[in-house]
Amino acid sequence: MRKSHQSPLHDFLVPALVTPSRRFLSTTSRNNANAASVADASAPQKPKRKPLTQEQRDFLSSALRVNQAGELAATLIYTAQTPPLVNAHPHLRPLLSHMYDQEAGHLRTFNALIAKHRVRPTALYPVWSAAATALGWGTAVLGREAAMACTEAVETEIGDHYNEQIRTLLEMFERWEAEGYEVGDDLRDLTNTLRRIRDEELEHLDHAVEHDAKQARPYWLLTGVIRAGCRGAIWASERV
Amino acid sequence: MAPSRAFTRLAAHRRVLGVVGRQYQLQRPYYSYDHPPPPGPFNQTEHAILSAAYTHVPEHGFTQHALSLGARDAGYLDISTAVLPDGPFSLIQYHLITKRQALAPKSRAIFNALDAAPGDGAKGQTMKIDDRVERLAWERLLSNADVIHRWQQALAVMAQPSHVPASLRELALLADEIYHLSGDGAVDPSWYTKRGTVSTAYVGAELFMTNDRSPGFAQTREFLQRRLEESSKVGNALGGVAQWMEFTAVAGVNILRSKGMRI
């Protein structure tokens, strides 16, 4: 652990010579052959990229899969919470629609990433859809505080989870760089996307606490159950 | 030597049955665009022997004999086929893998040619996903044409219990490849049904093709189109029912809300 985050200097120093063409879908080897020859011609000392090991590929696919499942659940929770909650507390409408819009954007991001990298979506998709709708609606009917406690619990788990993924990715990059390889742009973009999304999720957590999440009764039971459910769902989505 | 018809049926049955259970063994590893791909399934020696042996398949079938001839052609001793522990099954895998990989350049050629064709311009772009899937499955079937008279024998080998998982995995990869090349980006549960559907249709058509004597395998193509059409009809009907149920449920809740219930 030499450094905890990537220095921007590195990004600057690595020229964008080898941006592979995305025109064709499955020309990975050809693109890399081109990239390698370009690199050889212009800068022989340029570090090459290392193939992903099976373990790394498994990590990346389960990470994308679980993130998609999580964002799907989040959009459905907010969708289900909105009508009962806004009916009782009309002043919450802008906040809920803001949070929903952000979650829908995250879901679109991960849907696109899953399709692009040919990762299998979770097989428990219908289960998560039903569970998330029930959770969102149930907590909204219990009241404003319960709904906010639900948001708080979910976003806490999700924030931790994203942090863990970012940490794993950065460790992977560090090991590559120690061996003199360079990191692909896709993976750098993925890390930045994860950072941005994590920050937005933690913003939602702050909004929830500002709106009296801690006043929910029984707070410990609600958040405990929801957090345990989230951890179970994450565990399952990483696998199937 | 052709295997018995019953054995071939068994092979097909196993493959079709497996489509249902296949998601449990599906590995879909992350596909990277800017890191080099991992090494292929065959090393250099294996590749040399297999590619040489493959040219003997139309004459000698997917057999140990073809492998020995291939090894000799590639400049190795007959005994060197021992690097392929699965024997003839390796030759079948070689066929499946190379033909699957050949699909990507072929699909580019087909859809680019359609784009360039005069007429209503950019036809490849506007072609529906279902049509693209059908076209790609058909291209993959056509690449069996050279070895089709040996294919029943290959199906029998693939149906041996120790080879079933690898065969199903290859079938799943083919279905995924077809959908990926067709440009389909759906990542909801239909991901599973689509791939299951095209696998079943493909296996059926492949089996049909082993007995098809029509010129250019025209009947096989009709068969394939019928199977895909049937499943898309069933899919549409189920989708319609699901949509109706969802609409009714939402409408019901909204009526209760309009009556002042706090739900």
**pLDDT for res B84:** 86
In this complex, the residue of A52, A87, A126 whose CB is nearest that of residue B262 is A87
Q: Cβ contact (<8 Å) for A51 and B104?
A: no
In this complex, the residue of A28, A68, A120 whose CB is nearest that of residue B26 is A120
pLDDT score of A158 more than 50:
yes
Q: What is the ipTM of this complex?
A: 0.76
Residues of B in contact with A239 (CB under 8 A): none
Q: Is B25 on the interface with A (CB under 8 A)?
A: no
- Both tokens assigned to A42: 């212009």
- Domain contains B205: yes
**pLDDT for res B34:** 79
Domain range for residue B252?
A: 5-258
Q: Cβ contact (<8 Å) for A49 and B36?
A: yes
**pLDDT for res A16:** 41
A204 in a known ligand binding site: yes
Q: Based on the structure, what is the number of domains in chain B?
A: 1
Q: Is A47 on the interface with B (CB under 8 A)?
A: no
Q: CA-nearest residue of chain B to A80?
A: B263
Query: How does pLDDT run across B122-131, given as a tens digit for each residue?
Result: 555 678 888 9
Q: Which of B146, B251, B145, B201 is nearest to B19 (CA)?
A: B201
Q: Is B189 on the interface with A (CB under 8 A)?
A: yes
**pLDDT for res B83:** 85
Q: Cβ contact (<8 Å) for A121 and B189?
A: yes
In this complex, the residue of B37, B180, B187 whose CB is nearest that of residue A68 is B187
Mean pLDDT of chain A: 82
Pick A103 or A38 by higher pLDDT: A103
CATH number at residue B232: 1.10.357
What percent of chain B is modeled with pLDDT above 70?
Answer: 86
B positions 124-143 inside 8 Å of A (CB): none
- Top residue of B30, B111, B246 to mutate, by most chain A CBs within 10 Å, is B30
- Top residue of A26, A86, A142 to mutate, by most chain B CBs within 10 Å, is A26
Distance of CA A27 to the CA centre of its chain: 27
- Domain contains B263: no
**pLDDT for res B11:** 45
A106 in a known ligand binding site: yes
Q: Is B176 on the interface with A (CB under 8 A)?
A: yes
- Domain contains B227: yes
Q: Is B181 on the interface with A (CB under 8 A)?
A: yes
Q: Is B192 on the interface with A (CB under 8 A)?
A: yes
Farthest-apart Cα atoms in chain B, separation: 86
Q: Is B185 on the interface with A (CB under 8 A)?
A: yes
Mean pLDDT of chain B: 84
| Three-class HEC string of chain B | CCCCHHHHHHHHHHHHHHHHHHHHHCCCCCCCCCCCCCCCCCCHHHHHHHHHHHCCHHHHCCCHHHHHHHHHHCCCCHHHHHHCCCCHHHHHHHHHHHHHHCHHHHHHHHHHHHHHCCCCCCHHHHCCHHHHHHHHHHHHHHCCHHHHHHHHHHHHHHCCHHHHHHHHHHHHHHHHHHHHHCCCCCCCCHHHHHHHHHHHHHHHHHHHHHCCCCHHHHHHHHHHHHHHHHHHHHHHHHHHHHHHHHHHHHHHHHHHHHCCCCC
Query: How does pLDDT run across A79-104, given as a tens digit for each residue?
Result: 999 999 998 899 999 999 999 999 99
**pLDDT for res B262:** 75
**pLDDT for res A10:** 47
- Domain contains B21: yes
Q: CA-nearest residue of chain A to B192?
A: A123
Give B28's pLDDT tier (boundaries 50, 70, 90).
low
Query: How does pLDDT run across B30-50, given as a tens digit for each residue?
Result: 888 878 877 778 888 888 999
A positions 164-223 inside 8 Å of B (CB): 184-187
In this complex, the residue of A25, A84, A116 whose CB is nearest that of residue B263 is A84
Q: Mention the CATH class of domain A52-239.
A: mainly alpha
Give B29's pLDDT tier (boundaries 50, 70, 90).
confident
- Where along chain A do its domains lie? 18-48, 52-239
Asked whether B172 and B195 are in contact (CB, 8 A), the reply is yes
How many interchain CB pairs under 8 A, A with B? 111
Q: CA-nearest residue of chain B to A28?
A: B33
Q: Is B262 on the interface with A (CB under 8 A)?
A: yes
**pLDDT for res B33:** 82
- Domain contains B232: yes
